[in-house]
């Protein structure tokens, strides 16, 4: 061990004091990690192999919960709904956030006010946002159907319709992209102006500059936002629970809603724990696949040197 160029034996009093100080400083984080993350995860893994209803001790049943899951139609329906939601919300939200960030990165009058307006939905309570959209999606007297009526279009029942309930929630997710916009703005500010100047000298127009300069330089930021958006979409719960609670004919039965109902309505804690671990594995696999694919479309400036 070396301090200021002097080698110190681990058995010296100074080295022991440094070691004690180190462990004391990380103790709050370490205790929090063990108590609030590691133990609950290991406990849920154990419970996933048991039959447990909170009122009696867990009974070991092996892999019966997992076998039951794969023959449960509600599991497949919830998985399908969640994947469809992710396929709609993630690409759409990414495109909208990037487009708005491109506009808000310009030197426009009152741009700071517009940045605040677009960011505010992402910091509001999700329950408050859901209630707001409940009034927007009302079949009779809802703001969206009133606006469609101005053009002679009869609006659908939205959240009450089996066909429109899930698209309604996807549309709602596009409204709360303020967090992504802020990250994209930071990424855009980090692109050197000299690259755009060089592109202009080569005769590149705005579209060419966006394609060959902005997108490659912003690809690490896009990659980061996409990963977070996928993880968030696969764990969506609150808006579906407040607005539709599974929807008509389970049209918006998200995976987390199914898990919540199994755990706290039917009190099947072992089965719900197995559902949670399957979702964890699915998210991990998808995340790893996206990370593996990043070599083909994510550009890091340091790699080109």
Do residues 274 and 66 make contact, with C-beta atoms less than 8 angstroms apart?
yes
Distances (CA, A) of 126 to 175, 176, 241: 12, 10, 11
Residue 266 carries which DSSP code? S
**What mean pLDDT do residues 179-197 have?**
93
pLDDT averaged over every residue in the chain: 91
- Give the tens place of pLDDT for each residue, 201-254: 988 899 999 999 999 999 999 999 999 999 999 999 988 999 988 888 899 999
Residue 5: the pLDDT is 46
Rounded to an integer, the average pLDDT of 26-43 is 94
Please give the Cα distance from 28 to 264 (Å, whole number).
31
Question: Would you state the pLDDT for residue 304?
Answer: 52
Extract the tokens encoding 172: 């709602």
Instruction: Give a yes or no: residue 52 inside a domain.
Output: no
Q: Which pLDDT score, from 0 to 100, does residue 10 have?
A: 56
pLDDT in tens, 4-25: 444 545 568 888 888 889 889 9
Cα separation values, 3 from 8, 13, 215, Å: 7, 13, 45
Predicted local confidence at residue 189, as pLDDT: 92
**119 and 253 share one domain:** yes
Do residues 71 and 33 share a domain?
A: no
Give pLDDT, residue 11: 63
- 34 in a domain, yes or no? yes
pLDDT at 105 over 80: yes
Report whether pLDDT(83) > 60: yes
Residue 53, in any domain of the structure: no
Structural domain total, the chain: 2
Residues 84 and 220 in one domain: yes
Residues 79, 175, single domain; the answer is yes
Residues 25 and 128 in one domain: no
In this predicted structure, what is the pLDDT of residue 127? 86
Query: d(Cα 174, Cα 91) in Å, to the nearest integer?
Result: 10
Q: Above 70 in pLDDT, residue 173?
A: yes
Q: Rounded to the nearest 5 degrees, what angle is found at the Cα of 158, between the Cα atoms of 153 and 161? A: 115
Percent of the chain with pLDDT over 70: 95
Q: Is the domain of 81 the same as that of 23? A: no
DSSP of 73-142: HHHHHHHHHHHHHHHHHHHHHHHHHHHHHHHHTS--TTHHHHHHHHHHHHHS-HHHHHHHHHHHT-TTT-
In-domain check, residue 227: yes
Closest CA to 137 of 252, 42, 215: 252
For residues 81 and 186, membership in a common domain is answered with: yes
Task: Give percent of the chain above pLDDT 90.
Answer: 72
In a domain, 28, yes or no: yes
Residues 218, 105 share a domain: yes
Average pLDDT estimate for 276-282: 97
The residue among 285, 290, 292, 241 whose CA lies nearest residue 264 is 241
In a domain, 59, yes or no: no
222 and 189 fall within a common domain: yes
Q: Domain holding 79: CATH number?
A: 1.10.3720.10
**Could you tell me if 33 and 139 lie in one domain?**
no
pTM (2 d.p.): 0.89
Do 10 and 83 lie in a common domain? no
Domain that holds residue 8: 2-40
Residues 30 and 79 in one domain: no
Sign for the CA dihedral angle at 150, 153, 154, 159 comes to negative
For 240-276, b/e burial (b = at least 16 CB within 10 A) is bbbbbebbeebbbbbbbbbbebbbeeeebbbbbbbbb
In angstroms, rounded to a whole number, what is the distance separating the alpha carbons of residues 257 and 95? 27
Residue 96, in any domain of the structure: yes
pLDDT at 171 over 50: yes
Query: DSSP code of 250?
Result: G
Given a cut of 70, whether residue 2 has pLDDT beyond it is no
Examine residue 161 and state whether it is found in any structural domain, yes or no.
Answer: yes
């Amino acid at each position: 061990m070396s301090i200021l160029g002097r080698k110190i034996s681990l058995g010296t009093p100074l080295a022991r004091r440094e070691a004690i100080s180190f462990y004391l400083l990380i103790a709050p984080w370490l205790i929090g990690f063990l108590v609030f993350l590691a133990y609950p995860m290991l406990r849920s893994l154990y419970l996933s192999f048991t039959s447990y209803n909170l009122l009696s001790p867990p009974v070991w049943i092996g892999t019966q919960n997992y076998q039951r899951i794969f023959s449960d139609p509600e599991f497949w329906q919830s998985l399908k709904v969640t994947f469809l939601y992710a396929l709609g919300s993630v690409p759409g939200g990414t495109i909208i956030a990037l487009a708005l960030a491109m506009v808000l990165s310009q030197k426009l009058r009152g741009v700071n006010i517009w940045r605040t307006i677009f960011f505010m939905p992402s910091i509001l309570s999700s329950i408050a946002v859901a209630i707001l959209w409940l009034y927007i999606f009302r079949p009779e007297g809802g703001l969206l159907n009133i606006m469609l009526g101005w053009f002679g279009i009869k609006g659908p029942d939205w959240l009450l319709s089996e066909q429109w309930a899930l698209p309604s929630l996807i549309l709602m997710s596009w409204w709360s992209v303020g967090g992504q916009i802020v990250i994209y703005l930071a990424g855009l500010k980090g692109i050197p102006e000299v690259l755009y100047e060089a592109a202009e000298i080569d005769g590149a127009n705005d579209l060419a500059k966006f394609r060959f300069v902005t997108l490659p330089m912003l690809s690490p930021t896009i990659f980061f936002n996409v990963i977070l958006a996928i993880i968030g979409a696969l764990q969506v719960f609150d808006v579906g629970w407040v607005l539709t609670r599974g929807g008509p004919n389970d049209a918006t039965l998200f995976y987390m809603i199914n898990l919540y109902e199994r755990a706290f309505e039917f009190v099947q804690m072992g089965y719900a724990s197995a559902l949670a671990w399957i979702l964890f594995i699915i998210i991990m696999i998808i995340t790893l696949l996206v990370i593996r694919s990043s070599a083909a479309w994510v550009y890091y400036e340091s790699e080109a040197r």
